[in-house]
Amino acid sequence: MARVLSHRNLPLLLLQAREAVLAHFRPILNHFGLTEQQWRVIRALAEAGPMEPNRIAETCQILGPSLAGVLARMEELGLVARRRLEADQRRVRVSLTAKSRALFAHVAPLVEAQYRELESAVGKQAIAQAYRTLDRLIAQFGAPVAAVALPKSPPRAGARRRRATRR
């Protein structure tokens, strides 16, 4: 658990914290053959009901293009169902299946139990404190902040590869 460089490097510190927390839950998900993202999607749909991809994306913090693949594989595995909306053919409704609902019923209690395990080891109010701090951080950093001015012709590390036009 090396922690050099963490000061004046908030993103890295958040990454390390996330890893430290997630390490306690990863074994559960692996045991059920679920990826972390699949579990986020299942959990979101189980708690909030059927949703459209863009809502899932922002809820689960997964970008659209990633989500397309995640949902495709989950559909393949029979974990979600996708159908176009009658009213608007662009939009899609994603819902859980019987299989994923059953899976959720198995996994959720274990995740909750692990949570309580951590709470009792770390202290309930320490975790509550973390929630408060993070909530505030997100709210404050979400508001617009002035961006530093960037030089016009910077020394670039690597030229961005050009995209091949598809056809």
Q: Which residue type does 37 have?
A: Q
Residue 54 is a binding residue for DNA (CB under 7 A): yes
For residues 45 and 96, the answer to whether their CB atoms sit within 8 Å is yes
Site for DNA in 60-79 (CB under 7 A): 62-73
98 binds, among DNA, a copy of itself, none (CB under 5 to 8 A by kind): none
For residues 73 and 103, the answer to whether their CB atoms sit within 8 Å is no
Nearer to DNA, 72 or 128 (CB): 72
- To a copy of itself, the closest distance from the beta carbon of 52 in angstroms equals 13
10 binds, among DNA, a copy of itself, none (CB under 5 to 8 A by kind): a copy of itself
- To DNA, the closest distance from the beta carbon of 164 in angstroms equals 4
For residues 35 and 29, the answer to whether their CB atoms sit within 8 Å is yes
Site for DNA in 12-41 (CB under 7 A): 26, 30, 35-38
Separation between Cα atoms, residue 56 and residue 45, nearest integer Å: 8
Looking at 57-65, 96-104, 110-118, 149-157, which segment touches DNA (CB under 7 A)? 57-65
Residue 90 is a binding residue for DNA (CB under 7 A): yes
83 binds, among a copy of itself, DNA, none (CB under 5 to 8 A by kind): none
Closest C-alpha among 106, 133, 144, 134 to residue 28: 106
Separation between Cα atoms, residue 110 and residue 116, nearest integer Å: 10
Among 2, 3, 88, 150, binds DNA (CB under 7 A): 88
Site for DNA in 123-162 (CB under 7 A): 161
